[in-house]
Structure 1
Amino acid sequence: FDNSLVSNLELPSHSLPSYPANYSDDSKTWRPVEIFSLISRYQNEVSDRRICASISAPKTCSIERVLKKTERFQKWLQAKRLTPDLVQGLPSPLLRCPSQRLLDRVVRRYAEVADAGSIFMDHFTERDKLRLLYTLAINTHPILLQIFPGAEGWPLPKYLGSCGRLLISTSTRPLQEFYDSPPDRAADLAYQLLGVLESLRSNDLNYFFYFTHVDANMFGIFNNGHLFIRDASTLGVIDKQEGSQTATRTRENQDIFSCLVSGCQTQLPSCDTISEKHSLVLVCQQLLPLLLQGKFPSPVQEEIDLALTHCGESSRPDPEVLQAASQLKDILRPLRTCDPRFAYRYPDCKYDDRF
């Protein structure tokens, strides 16, 4: 990392969820990255207190030693393969309905161990297993970046590594910074966002992704104008190919890992209740109006507003919401311009209407 960030700049407060940095593989060429805290400073303190309290310890204790003695971790130590029963009770949306295929993908692509590529955990050290379990319990964002990498077409930034409770990934600007964008850029970003949701809903691997909630900081834009998911911590995954085992949070499978950053009483609804329209409704209600409102002349603006209204109505059947989103994309498509500001599709857009 660039030492000048420390020497010449005053680093932001520890309470910030992320801050910019420069990263280099060779100390000659530098690129912007973001350093994210997996959980907030307050959540870290609460988590540590809960861990120590679980053994009736005073204010401080050896976090690693306490977690290693838990019944869940002892089961992990004996396990050769990560199976759904080992993640029962963990609060992450990713593990709400875990399939064996998904968990195998987690182990096979986990980048923090040597010799990754096997679905078996024989090559995991004791500390490797604890690190993976702890990450799955507090924030699965870095796991999702590894198992669904942007290099394979997934709308996620590149994972560069982690250290302790910090994660490093390629830099993006949050969507919120673009709310005052000119009409053509707003149309382009909204079009991309709808496309991202479409790819999460329907893809070659037959995984259905959904958001438990959304906000403008969860999506980011690269320098080339390409929109990605900046924060995947609220992203759930349902395996449409293999089927998923609904996670339960009964007292039998609750432990300290279930309550590190969330209340132990949190209930997880059945995955059967997650509809195809789920993420679309959230985005059409909470994000797209702020990006598209009052940007276009009449009657285009009225058409956009009507499509947004229909897309954001949770009472409508899935086909109607999906149709409204498709209509909105059709309206937005010709409102985008083709110029170097949109480097992710320029100059291809000059020669091919698909861009």
Structure 2
Amino acid sequence: MTRCNKIKTLLLRRKCRSASLLILLILAAYSVYYLCSDHLSTAAFLELHKCPACYGVSYCDHLLEKRVIPKSWSGTGLSNLINVKNVFFARHSHRWVVLKKLGHDKELTTLDRKLCSLANKTTSSCEVNKLHLEPLFTTHLRSKKFLLELVTGISDLTRCPSKRLVDLILNRYSERYLVGQDVQKRWTPERIMVLLTTLAANPEPVIMQVFHQDNGWPFPRYYGACGRMVVEQYVGKSLGDYYVSPWRTRVGLAYQLFQIADLLTNNKGNWSLYWTDVSYDNIAVDPDGRVVVVDLENIIVVDKLKIIQDRPPEWDKVLTSTFDECIPNHNCLSFSPDSLCTRLVADHNYYAVCHGILSSYADDEGRPGGLLHSMPDIIKTTWGLDKLLDECAKPSSEQTSRLKIKDQLLTVLAELAGVNG
């Protein structure tokens, strides 16, 4: 090889290395842009193309016009890579909000299969955004009974529904399919598809609308949806953050938890809302110290009036929860959905709160002794609160009734929290 050829070869190699370096820099810049860009405001990430097999469009203006500002990395490409739960935090105007896709990516893929199955379509030939054109959904507009049959078992909310529950959902559910659509507009096939998709994915947004915060229910506010993203009230810190708080603070929170268990069990609407996933992470405390249940996916709603009317076997016999040690996972909860759906009275909610949060048996994620750990000796000797909580979680005999214990606990906790003082 001549000297000139060697020089040409060397220059060519340098050019190739420079070109490779330039390509790498471009790819790196694109990666940084992707990871740092706001995906909460993109139609693709919101999966608007899947509507009406989505959660609605009432919040699209705010999201697509970038009025919702992600908190630090939340909602960026980087967050998308590591955010398995698909939960994002952001600020809109003067308030913090939580944005949820209502499931992991795999769960959302399963959702599409579920919707195709409802429409009697095979996955290979099914396009979820076209399911509203199927005659199946037109039928629903003419028959509430058919709609009742369709939603039965699609989620915990409708595991054992009644016509009264379906009517309540239809009257209070305010999400829409088209931007600017009147929420009072008649039930079109598209709007039914939005409701079915939400129920099948996670009924939380429906529960927040049907059992509204303004009516005294301990749930967050629902703000709206865009594609496959819903926007909810950010309540505050997790209950777990209060595990190390002063005793007086914790006993006040414990009283509220027990009040919630009582409200969900007995209320003037003649509903029983059975709380089947009780954990610190599913409960939050707002700035005013109010306890709110923030994860509503696994709440079973029972119509007491339907039970009285149908009178299934043993309907008037109290359903007593059986204590489960659940080693090594102490924070488990055993229950029979079928039994909850057919009994007028059940002690499930009191058992769930005592077993999972308040008693010495509670051991949620390394928080031994429950929320009321390190109880002052004077509280034990004077009030016997520790024994009452343990009896609530694990009655010492078959004759012990949680329904009697819960009344004592409400009185004691109220006194200790200073409610009557």
Counterpart CA distance in 2 for 1:237 and 1:318 is 28
The residue correspondences of 1:68-107 to structure 2 (distance < 5 A) are 68-69=133-134, 71=136, 73-79=137-143, 83-88=147-152, 90-107=153-170
Relative to 1, partners in 2 of residues 1:15 and 1:322: Cα closer, same or farther, differing over 3 Å?
same
Counterpart CA distance in 1 for 2:116 and 2:413 is 53
Instruction: Find out whether 1:156 has 2:219 as its counterpart.
Output: yes
Aligned counterpart for 1:285 among listed residues 350, 355, 371: 355
Counterpart CA distance in 2 for 1:308 and 1:43 is 37
> Do the aligned residues in 2 keep the contact of 1:161 with 1:169 (CA within 8 Å)?
yes
Counterpart CA distance in 1 for 2:105 and 2:175 is 23
Tell me the residue number matched to 2:387.
306
Tell me the residue number matched to 2:34.
none
Counterpart CA distance in 1 for 2:128 and 2:267 is 40
Relative to 1, partners in 2 of residues 1:308 and 1:105: Cα closer, same or farther, differing over 3 Å?
same
Relative to 1, partners in 2 of residues 1:52 and 1:152: Cα closer, same or farther, differing over 3 Å?
closer
CA shift, 1:78, in A, is: 4.0
Counterpart CA distance in 2 for 1:212 and 1:170 is 22
- Give the partner amino acid of 2:376: P
Relative to 1, partners in 2 of residues 1:112 and 1:319: Cα closer, same or farther, differing over 3 Å?
farther
Which structure has greater helix proportion? 2
Q: 5+ unaligned residues in a row in structure 2: which ranges?
A: 1-61, 312-335, 360-368
Instruction: Find out whether 1:20 has 2:89 as its counterpart.
Output: yes
CA shift, 1:273, in A, is: 5.1
CA shift, 1:301, in A, is: 4.0
> Do the aligned residues in 1 keep the contact of 2:70 with 2:89 (CA within 8 Å)?
no
Tell me the residue number matched to 1:259.
none
Instruction: Find out whether 1:130 has 2:211 as its counterpart.
Output: no
> Do the aligned residues in 1 keep the contact of 2:238 with 2:281 (CA within 8 Å)?
yes
- Give the partner amino acid of 1:220: A
Aligned counterpart for 1:322 among listed residues 394, 403, 409: 403
Alignment RMSD: 3.3
Relative to 1, partners in 2 of residues 1:189 and 1:44: Cα closer, same or farther, differing over 3 Å?
same
Tell me the residue number matched to 2:127.
62
- Give the partner amino acid of 1:142: P
Instruction: Find out whether 1:294 has 2:373 as its counterpart.
Output: yes
Q: 5+ unaligned residues in a row in structure 1: which ranges?
A: 25-29, 247-266, 338-352
* 1:85-143 per-position Cα deviation (integer Å, ceiling 9, x unaligned): 2323x3322212212111111000111145556xxxx7122210101111122211111
CA shift, 1:21, in A, is: 1.3
The percentage of aligned residue pairs carrying the same residue is 27
Relative to 1, partners in 2 of residues 1:325 and 1:70: Cα closer, same or farther, differing over 3 Å?
farther
Counterpart CA distance in 1 for 2:273 and 2:245 is 28
Relative to 1, partners in 2 of residues 1:68 and 1:273: Cα closer, same or farther, differing over 3 Å?
farther
Counterpart CA distance in 2 for 1:318 and 1:111 is 47
Which gives a bigger RCO, structure 1 or 2 (Cα 8 Å, sep 6+)? 1
> Do the aligned residues in 2 keep the contact of 1:115 with 1:123 (CA within 8 Å)?
no
- Give the partner amino acid of 1:280: Y
CA shift, 1:278, in A, is: 0.7
Instruction: Find out whether 1:331 has 2:412 as its counterpart.
Output: yes
Tell me the residue number matched to 2:19.
none
Tell me the residue number matched to 1:142.
205
Tell me the residue number matched to 1:237.
301
> Do the aligned residues in 1 keep the contact of 2:218 with 2:260 (CA within 8 Å)?
yes
> Do the aligned residues in 1 keep the contact of 2:238 with 2:280 (CA within 8 Å)?
yes
Tell me the residue number matched to 1:185.
249
Relative to 1, partners in 2 of residues 1:125 and 1:49: Cα closer, same or farther, differing over 3 Å?
closer
CA shift, 1:327, in A, is: 2.2
- Number of residue pairs aligned between Structure 1 and Structure 2: 309
- Give the partner amino acid of 1:208: S
- More off after superposition, 5-14 vs 145-154: 5-14
Counterpart CA distance in 2 for 1:176 and 1:7 is 21
Secondary structure of the residue aligned to 2:112 is: helix
Secondary structure of the residue aligned to 2:305 is: coil
> Do the aligned residues in 2 keep the contact of 1:97 with 1:245 (CA within 8 Å)?
no
- Give the partner amino acid of 2:211: F
> Do the aligned residues in 2 keep the contact of 1:98 with 1:245 (CA within 8 Å)?
no
TM-score of the superposed pair, with normalisation by structure 2:
0.64
> Do the aligned residues in 2 keep the contact of 1:68 with 1:130 (CA within 8 Å)?
no
Secondary structure of the residue aligned to 1:101 is: helix
Relative to 1, partners in 2 of residues 1:34 and 1:6: Cα closer, same or farther, differing over 3 Å?
closer
Counterpart CA distance in 1 for 2:290 and 2:232 is 15
> Do the aligned residues in 1 keep the contact of 2:140 with 2:147 (CA within 8 Å)?
no
> Do the aligned residues in 2 keep the contact of 1:18 with 1:37 (CA within 8 Å)?
yes
